[in-house]
Structure 1
Amino acid sequence: MSLDYDLVIIGDTLEASYAALKAVKLKARVALVLGKTETNTYTEIDRFTFNYLTCFDKNWQNLTQWELNNDFVTHLNSYQIKTWTTQVKQDIKEYYSPAILAAAGIDIIMESGEFCRLPQLGFVIKNRTLRSRNYLLAMGSISSIPKIQGLSEVGYLTLETLDLEKLLNDLIIVSQTPIGIELAQSLNQIGKKVTLVVEDSSILPQEDADAIQLIQAQLEAEGIKLLVNCPISQVRKIENKKWLQAGNEALETDEIIFITKPSPNIQGLNLDGVKVQVQPHQIIVNDKLQTTNPQIYACGSIIGGYSLSNLAKYEANIAVKNAIFSPIFQVNYHPLPWHIFTQPILSRVGLTETQARQSYGDDIIVIKQNYKTLAKAQILDETTGFCKIITRRNGIMLGGHIIGNNSDELINIIALAIKNNIKIQQFSQLFPSYTTISEILFQISENWQDKKFQENKSLNNWLETLLFWRRKWN
Structure 2
Amino acid sequence: MANLKTDLLVIGAGSGGLSVAAGAVQMGADVILLEGGEMGGDCLNYGCVPSKALIASGKAAHAQTTAAKFGVANVDPKADYAAAKDHVADVIAQIAPVDSQERFEDLGVKVIRAYGEFISATEVRAGEDVITARRIVIATGSSPFVPPVPGLDTVPFETNESLFELRDKPGHLLIVGGGPIGMEMAQAHRRLGCEVTVIEGAKALGKDDPELAAIVLEHLRDEGIEIAEDAMAKEVRGTAGAIEIDTEDGRVFKGTHLLMAVGRKPNTERLNLDAAGIETTRGGIKVDAGLRTTNRSVYAIGDVAGGLQFTHVAGYHAGLVIRSALFGLPAKQSTDHIPWATYTQPELAQVGLTEAEARKAHGDKLEVARFDYSHNDRAIAERKTTGLIKVMVVKGRPVGASIAGYQAGELINLWALVIANRLKMKHVANMVAPYPTIGEINKRAAGAYFSPKLFENSMVKRIVGLVQRWLP
Do both proteins adopt the same fold according to a TM-score greater than 0.5, normalized to the shorter chain? yes
AA in 2 matched with 1:383: T
Give CA-to-partner distance per residue, 1:208-265, whole Å, 9 cap, x none: 1221121221222222111112211111228972221123212222122111211122
| Matched residue, 1:386 | 388
Q: Deviations over 1:32-67 (max 9, x none)?
A: 011256677521011222222322332233225767
Q: CA-to-partner distance for each residue in 1:146-197, whole Å, 9 max, x for gaps?
A: 1111111123221112134224211210015311111111111111111111
Report if aligned partners of 1:51, 1:343 keep a CA contact under 8 Å in 2.
no
Structure 1 residue 326, shift from structure 2 partner: 3.1
Deviation of the 1:298 alpha carbon: 1.3
Matched AA of 2:337: P
2:49 match = 45
Identify unmatched segments of 5+ residues in structure 2: none
Q: Post-superposition, which runs of at least 4 consecutive aligned residues in structure 1 deviate over 6 A? A: none
Q: Deviations over 1:380-417 (max 9, x none)?
A: 11111112111113x21111122222222221122112
| Matched residue, 2:79 | 76
Kindly provide the amino acid, as one letter, of the partner of residue 89 in structure 1: I
Separation of aligned partners in 1, 2:222 and 2:245: 24
2-structure distance, mates of 1:199, 1:321: 41
- 1:108-157 per-position Cα deviation (integer Å, ceiling 9, x unaligned): 1122331012xx52001233311111211112211121111111112322
Distance 1:114 1:52, change over 3 A: same
Equivalent residue number for residue 175 of structure 2: 173
Q: Which amino acid aligns with 1:101?
A: F
Match of 1:401 in 2: 402
Rounded to whole Å, the distance in 1 between the matches of 2:390 and 2:4 is 52
Equivalent residue number for residue 344 of structure 2: 342
> Quick one: which amino acid aligns to residue 161 of structure 1?
S
Aligned twin of 1:30: 31
**5+ residue gaps, structure 1:** none
In structure 2, give the amino acid aligned to 1:112.
Answer: Y
Query: Equivalents in 2 of 1:327, 1:211: separation in Å?
Result: 40
How much does 1:327 deviate?
6.7
Contact persistence 1:347–1:403 (CA under 8 A): yes
1:281–1:169 CA distance, 2 compared to 1 (3 A): farther
SS of 1:378's partner is helix
Q: Deviations over 1:268-315 (max 9, x none)?
A: 221233232334542222211122322221112222345422111001
1:239 to 1:463, Cα distance in 2 relative to 1, 3 A? closer
Give the match for residue 56 of structure 1: 60
1:258 counterpart residue number:
260
Identify if the C-alpha distance between structure 1 residues 449 and 234 changes in structure 2 by more than 3 Å, giving closer, same or farther.
same
Alignment-mate amino acid for residue 131 of structure 1: T
The answer to whether the Cα contact below 8 Å between 1:64 and 1:73 also exists between their aligned partners in 2 is no
Distance 1:430 1:67, change over 3 A: closer
Equivalent residue letter for 1:329: A
Q: Secondary structure at the match of 2:160?
A: coil
CA spacing shift, 1:65–1:415, aligned 2, 3 Å: closer
Secondary structure at 1:283 match in 2: coil
Partner of 1:12: 13
Deviates more, 1:369-378 or 1:236-245: 236-245
**Distance (whole Å) between structure 2 residues aligned to residue 240 and residue 188 of structure 1:** 17
CA contact (8 A) 2:14 2:141 kept: yes
Q: Amino acid of the residue matched to residue 56 of structure 1?
A: A
**Do residues 421 (structure 1) and 422 (structure 2) align?**
yes
Instruction: Note the 1:89-238 alignment, pairs <5 A.
Output: 89-117=92-120, 121-162=122-163, 163-175=165-177, 177-200=179-202, 202-237=203-238
Count of matched residue pairs:
465
Contact 2:371/2:390 (CA < 8 Å) preserved in 1?
A: yes
TM-score, with structure 2 as normaliser: 0.91
* Contact kept? 1:275, 1:292, Cα under 8 Å: yes
Per the alignment, do residues 449 and 308 of structure 1 end up closer, same or farther by CA in structure 2, a change over 3 Å counting? same
Would you say the 8 A contact 1:262–1:281 is kept in 2?
no
SS where residue 91 of structure 2 aligns? helix
2:55 counterpart letter in structure 1: N
CA distance in 2, matches of 1:227, 1:184: 12
Q: How does 1:322-361 map to 2 (within 5 A)?
A: 322-326=324-328, 328-361=330-363
Find the partner of 2:272 among 254, 270, 273.
270
Q: Per the alignment, in what secondary structure is the counterpart of residue 167 of structure 2? A: helix
Q: Compute the displacement of 1:456 (Å).
A: 4.1
SS state at 1:297 partner: strand
Change (3 A) 1:458 1:294: same
Residue matched to 1:303: 305
Select between 188-197 and 262-271 the one with higher mean Cα deviation: 262-271
* Distance in 2 (alpha carbons) for counterparts of 1:37 and 1:348: 30
Structure 2 counterpart of 1:57, which letter?
A
Instruction: Read off the aligned partner of 1:122 and give its amino acid letter.
Output: E
> Do 1:275 and 1:293's aligned partners in 2 also have CA atoms closer than 8 Å?
yes
CA RMSD of aligned residues (A): 2.5
Q: Offset of 1:79 from its aligned partner?
A: 2.1
The alignment partner of 1:165 has SS state of coil
Letter in 1 for 2:197: T
Q: Is the 8 A contact 1:261 1:281 kept in 2?
A: no
Q: Indicate the percent of aligned positions where both proteins have the same amino acid.
A: 26
Aligned partners of 2:317, 2:239: CA distance in 1, in Å? 47
Q: Report the CA distance between 1:204 and its aligned residue.
A: 2.4
Contact kept, 8 Å, 2:50 with 2:91, in 1: the verdict is no
SS of equivalent to 1:416? helix
CA distance in 2, matches of 1:62, 1:36: 42
Match of 2:88 among 79, 85, 89: 85
Instruction: Tell me, in whole angstroms, the C-alpha distance in 1 between the residues paired with 2:70 and 2:328.
Output: 63
Give the SS at the match of 2:206: coil
TM-score for both structures, normalised by structure 1: 0.91
One-letter amino acid matched to 2:182: G
